[in-house]
Amino acid sequence: MAGPVRTVAAAHAERPAARPGPRRCFTFRTGIPLNISKYEQRTLHALAQGGRIEHRKDDAGDIIGVDCITRDGWRLSDCTLSVFRKLRKRRFIRSEEGRPYRVTREGLEAVRAQLDNR
């Protein structure tokens, strides 16, 4: 003997409500996330001091490599392609007209103050 036929809508109706996702920490006024990784923090700090991110593209126009150059001309090894994508997704960096990526105002607000060892 077969049981009652259940529809997809009925199965979804019986499912308990989803739990809310992890809570994110935001600053009080701006709503910018505070949870930035160490590598993102270092990259943003170098950009805030006048650095830039130079990108390389393939024939299709996709970014395949990045180099973070400090204002003194040194290459920052902490800036990988994954760090670059996270910063761009959060709109902490921006490029205009194909020029190198620079820090945005949101990126400046997100970076914590660090002492410059000069």
Task: Look at residue 11 in the predicted model and tell me its pLDDT.
Answer: 57
Integer Cα distance of 82 and 112 in angstroms: 21
Cα atoms found within 13 Å of the Cα of residue 64, Cβ hemisphere only: 7
Residues 95 and 76: beta-carbon distance below 8 Å: no
Percent of the chain with pLDDT over 70: 65
Task: Look at residue 10 in the predicted model and tell me its pLDDT.
Answer: 60
The overall pTM is greater than 0.75: no
- Pick 44 or 114 by higher pLDDT: 44
Amino acid at 48: A
Task: Look at residue 35 in the predicted model and tell me its pLDDT.
Answer: 80
